[in-house]
Copies of this chain bind each other. A is one copy, B any other.
Amino acid sequence: MLSMRAKYALKALVYLAKAKDQGPVLIGDIAESQKLPRKFLEQILLELKNLRVLKSRQGKGGGYLLAKPPAEIEMGHIVRVFNGPLALVPCVSVTAFEKCEECLDFAHCGIRRVMKKVRDVTAEILDGTTLETLVAIEASESDEASLMYFI
């Protein structure tokens, strides 16, 4: 399951993407409008800043801004950082690879091959979906059947 941290990060980012031409956005605004716990969100935004996904201005009139265009911020990146590896088993993870000691025949393990497929299609979707995509999806009225159009 996606952690709250990851979900809140994504929500805040989509919000910032939508408001990207309106100057710095307050933590308080994001928290209130998206119903996110303010202090927790504060930590998350700070981490996003350290990742160079956001930048900030301090002091009066300050707030948070995207550090790059929405089209350059991939869901996959955010999920990996805030939620951990996409892979369901370590042996198919690209970012946190490890052999499964309990699987003797690593090379022919069926679980591994299926899970690798799962990871790969997940990565393809998540790395192919940017904040721009998410904003576009939310702006449209259609349901999941036509998502392919966006991705």
Contact = CB atoms under 8 A, between A and B. Distances in A.
Nearest to A96: B52
Interface residues of A, number: 9
Interface string A31-63: 000000000000000010010100100000000
7 contacts: A47-B47, A50-B81, A50-B82, A50-B84, A52-B95, A52-B96, A55-B96
A82 B84 CA distance: 19
Grouping DSSP codes into helix (H, G, I), strand (E, B) and loop, the A interface class, with mixed when no group exceeds half, is mixed
The 7 closest A-B pairs by CB, nearest first: A50-B81, A52-B95, A52-B96, A50-B84, A47-B47, A55-B96, A50-B82
A3 to B, nearest CB: 11
Nearest to A51: B81
Nearest to A50: B81
Which residue of A50, A82, A84 has the most chain B CB atoms within 10 A of its CB atom?
A50
A58 B96 CA distance: 16
Nearest to A67: B96
A84 B47 CA distance: 11
A84 B55 CA distance: 12
Contacts of A55: 96
